[in-house]
């Protein structure tokens, strides 16, 4: 049973300027919740007990906002990476000791989705080092993968949602700094396609669209 998760929240959010000049992107709100709160709530609702959050640019805002996790009924650990980006995979590697060799859910803070994490919580990786959630390529992205028999292939039909279940062994096996590079190398990664609502909140326009969508 999966009890631990990590939220990637250390990006600078440069494409979101000027909104992120004085505030880290995970602190932006859609409706009445911040992007980071949304992920914490969704994970706590399925029984995740501990969440590691990596922070970087203006990370003190996130630390002060989420606290130790007690207000969400969980434990939150902050992994401070400093002001300079170190890469998504390196960020996970820095926090591996918190997972005690257990598989964990990994999610990007800067997405907006109604995906339920409950299926990932009970998913059995078996011999795979990761199982990720894909979605049909949106018109603002080039796409990341194709899919064959639930295994990743090179292509651009689907986009990685920023949601996955991972074995710590994946981040020990590879030394690359970015998770995307590793996913294109490792042959044992499996995937499912999610057809529900999902957006990468990467620009002010996409943030406005997400806010408009929930106000309808």
Instruction: Give Cβ neighbours of residue 76 (< 8 Å, ≥ 6 apart).
Output: 40, 50, 51, 52, 53, 66, 67, 68, 69
What pLDDT is attached to residue 95?
97
pLDDT at 133 over 80: yes
4-215: in CATH 3.90.550.10? yes
What pLDDT is attached to residue 216?
62
Per-domain residue ranges of the chain:
4-215
pLDDT at 183 over 90: yes
| Distance from the first to the final alpha carbon of the chain | 37
What pLDDT is attached to residue 12?
76
What band does 20 get if pLDDT is binned at 50, 70 and 90?
A: confident
Query: Do β-strands 151-154 and 158-166 pair in parallel, antiparallel, or remain unpaired?
Result: unpaired
For residue range 187-204, list pLDDT tens digits in order: 999 999 999 999 999 999
Give me the half-sphere count of Cα atoms (radius 13 Å) on the Cβ side of residue 9: 34
What pLDDT is attached to residue 198?
95
What predicted TM-score, i.e. pTM, was given to this entire model? 0.95
What pLDDT is attached to residue 142?
86
CA distances from 70 to 33, 45, 100, 102, 195 (A): 17, 14, 21, 22, 33
The 3-state DSSP class for residue 174 equals: coil
Dist. CA 144–CA 147, nearest whole Å = 10
What pLDDT is attached to residue 1?
84
Angle between helix 59-66 and 35-45 (nearest 10): 40
The 3-state DSSP class for residue 62 equals: helix
What band does 18 get if pLDDT is binned at 50, 70 and 90?
A: confident
Q: For residues 158-185, give the mean pLDDT.
A: 97
For residue range 37-65, list pLDDT tens digits in order: 999 999 999 999 999 999 998 999 999 99
Q: Which helix (H) or strand (E) holds 95?
A: none
What pLDDT is attached to residue 214?
82
């Amino acid at each position: 049973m999966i009890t631990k998760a990590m939220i990637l929240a250390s990006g600078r959010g440069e494409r979101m300027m000027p909104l992120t000049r004085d505030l880290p992107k995970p602190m932006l709100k859609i409706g009445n919740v911040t992007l980071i709160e949304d992920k914490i709530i969704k994970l706590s609702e399925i029984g995740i007990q501990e969440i590691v959050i990596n922070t970087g640019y203006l990370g003190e805002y996130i630390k002060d906002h989420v606290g130790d996790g007690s207000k969400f009924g969980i434990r939150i650990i902050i992994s401070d990476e400093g002001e300079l980006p170190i890469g998504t995979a390196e960020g996970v590697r820095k926090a591996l000791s918190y997972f005690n060799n257990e598989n964990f859910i990994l999610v990007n803070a800067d997405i907006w989705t109604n995906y339920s994490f409950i299926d990932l919580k009970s998913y059995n990786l078996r011999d795979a080092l990761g199982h990720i959630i894909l979605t049909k390529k949106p018109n603002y992205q080039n796409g990341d993968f194709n899919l064959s028999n639930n295994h990743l292939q090179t292509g651009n039909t689907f986009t990685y949602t920023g949601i996955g279940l991972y074995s710590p062994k994946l981040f020990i096996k590879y030394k690359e700094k970015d998770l995307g590079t590793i996913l294109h190398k490792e042959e044992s990664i499996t995937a499912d396609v999610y057809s529900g609502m999902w957006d990468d909140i990467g620009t002010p326009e996409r943030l406005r669209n997400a806010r408009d969508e929930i106000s309808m």
